[in-house]
């Protein structure tokens, strides 16, 4: 009798659990119960002073609303809307009034640790030197794409994306806000080695609107660090080769390489780097039209070159970066010396400093300043330039 009573109790429990599970509304669970809403506010003041040109300032407020559903039969969705309000649109400052869908995609969590996404999405690969989101600007760069990432092999991540449209940082109606593409992005990295993370990539950009942006780039990258008690030594090494792609009217071959070494001790760090975006004897240079360009070659953005990130004579950037943390304050200082890869042109120097202070879990304030000077006269980047940013950000 006790055995039968226990059996009946277990069956009753299972039956009640089944009834409860069947009564759960999967749509309500995915779209309400398991969903997540995030809100971000970013207020920024920017001041730009270009010698012999103009001085401008602008205050902008970006409001970002992000909504992500829970899983529904391994499917989920993400929607993100950005709105930027501005005191004015200034020609020297790359933030503009706009309201748009920043992200909107459907994701699928497939077998063998595969994640697929279809729609407007962020694509950030490695350090964003070749493919990124331009996250510093108020209007982010996103991609209308299909992407798939697989992590079935321990330590190995394989990524592929087909990009149909690049949604750039420029405002609607400017003629520069979208570039139609038929682009393939392949990135494979392995971090199973103790001393290194290894990456190989192929970025085959086919820009349907600006043929000069179409390139075929193949490269390898290695990063790693060695810990010696409280001391950490780090390194990076990268090489890539690029040629014209698709309907690009140019015919060229140019190289990219970067070497860097760093040291970190407690709250202090320092890094020295040498980066070359090469030139094919002055005919054409190695370009990075999908990169987060503001993070490289100086904060004053003197070397955007219309969004290409390089010019026909190439760019050599020798730089030093120093970081520190003090009572929660994050400090950073940078120095760059710029030269051409071809033609022995002095492209100037830049120094910059920044301080960021996060507080109360949701907030941060920051100040950043950069000053560029000393370039040879007669080039589009030769005017001395100073820039200042003050930023307040709130995340909920």
Q: What is the value of pTM for the model shown?
A: 0.92
- Continuous segment of H or E residues that includes residue 374: none
49 HSE (CA, 13 A, CB side): 9
Those residues whose C-beta lies under 8 Å from the C-beta of residue 289, and which sit 6 or more positions away, are 205, 207, 210, 213, 215, 307, 308, 309
pLDDT of residue 22: 55
Strands 54-68 and 178-190: unpaired
Tokens found for residue 270: 């320092």
Could you give the dihedral angle defined by the CA atoms of residues 284, 288, 290 and 293, in that order, rounded to the nearest 10 degrees? -130
pLDDT one digit per residue (tens) for the chain, 396 residues: 343 444 444 334 434 444 444 577 999 999 999 999 999 999 999 999 999 999 999 999 999 999 999 999 999 999 999 999 999 888 899 999 999 999 999 999 999 999 999 999 999 999 999 999 999 999 999 999 999 999 999 999 999 999 999 999 998 888 889 999 999 999 999 999 999 999 999 999 999 999 999 999 999 999 999 999 889 999 999 999 999 999 999 999 999 999 999 999 999 999 999 999 999 999 999 999 999 999 999 999 999 999 999 999 999 999 999 999 999 999 999 999 999 999 999 999 999 999 999 999 999 999 999 999 999 999 999 999 999 999 999 999
Closest Cα to residue 129, out of 348, 325, 294? Answer: 294
Tokens found for residue 316: 């050599």
| DSSP secondary structure string for all residues of 229-275 | TTEEEEEEEEEEEEEE-TT-S---EEEEEEEEEEEEETTEEEEEEEE
pLDDT of residue 39: 98
Query: In CATH, what number does 34-395 get?
Result: 2.40.160.10
Structural domain boundaries of the chain? 1-26, 34-395
Closest Cα to residue 201, out of 230, 163, 161? Answer: 161
Taking the mean position of all CA atoms in its chain, how far away is CA 53? Answer: 30
pLDDT of residue 172: 82
Q: What angle do CA 116, 98, 93 make, to 5 degrees?
A: 105
Contact of 248 with 217, CB cutoff 8 Å = no
Residue indicated by tokens 């920043």? 102
Distance CA 157, CA 196 (A): 14
Residue indicated by tokens 């933030």? 95
Contact of 207 with 214, CB cutoff 8 Å = yes
pLDDT of residue 1: 39
Closest Cα to residue 254, out of 319, 338, 312, 184? Answer: 312
Tokens found for residue 147: 């992407």
Closest Cα to residue 52, out of 371, 306, 373, 385? Answer: 385
């Amino acid at each position: 009798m006790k055995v039968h009573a226990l059996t009946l109790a277990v069956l009753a429990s299972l039956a009640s659990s089944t009834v409860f599970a069947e009564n759960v509304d999967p749509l309500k669970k995915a779209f309400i119960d398991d969903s997540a809403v995030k809100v971000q506010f970013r207020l920024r003041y920017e001041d730009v002073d270009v010698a012999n040109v103009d001085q401008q300032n602008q205050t902008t407020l970006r409001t970002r609303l992000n909504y992500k559903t829970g899983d529904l039969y391994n499917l989920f969705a993400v929607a993100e809307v950005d709105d930027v309000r501005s005191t004015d649109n200034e020609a020297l400052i790359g933030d503009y009034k706009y309201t748009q869908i920043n992200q909107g995609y459907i994701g699928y969590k497939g077998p063998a640790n595969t994640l697929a996404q279809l729609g407007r999405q962020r694509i950030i690969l490695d350090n964003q030197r070749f493919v990124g989101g331009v996250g510093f600007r108020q209007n982010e760069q996103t991609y209308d794409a299909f992407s798939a990432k697989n992590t079935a092999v321990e330590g190995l991540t394989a990524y592929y994306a087909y990009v149909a449209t690049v949604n750039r940082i420029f405002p609607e109606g400017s003629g520069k806000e979208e570039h139609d593409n038929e682009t393939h992005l392949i990135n494979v990295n392995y971090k199973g080695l103790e001393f290194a993370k290894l990456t190989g990539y192929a970025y085959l950009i086919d820009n349907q609107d600006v043929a000069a942006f179409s390139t075929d780039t193949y490269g390898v990258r290695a990063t790693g660090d060695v810990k010696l008690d409280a001391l950490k030594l780090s390194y990076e090494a990268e090489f890539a080769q690029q040629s014209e792609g698709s309907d690009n009217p140019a015919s060229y071959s140019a190289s990219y390489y970067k070497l860097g070494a760093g040291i970190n001790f407690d709250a202090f760090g320092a890094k020295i780097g040498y980066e070359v975006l090469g030139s094919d004897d002055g005919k054409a240079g190695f370009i990075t039209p999908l990169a987060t360009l503001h993070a490289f070659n100086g904060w004053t953005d003197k070397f955007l070159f219309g969004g290409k990130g390089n010019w026909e004579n190439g760019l050599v950037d020798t730089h030093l970066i120093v970081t520190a943390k003090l009572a929660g304050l994050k400090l950073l200082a940078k120095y760059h010396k710029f030269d051409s890869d071809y033609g022995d042109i002095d492209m100037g120097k830049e120094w910059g400093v920044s301080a960021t202070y996060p507080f109360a879990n949701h907030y941060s304030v920051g100040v950043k300043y950069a000053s560029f000077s000393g370039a040879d006269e007669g080039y589009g980047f030769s005017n001395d330039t100073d820039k200042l940013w003050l930023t307040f950000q709130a995340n909920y």
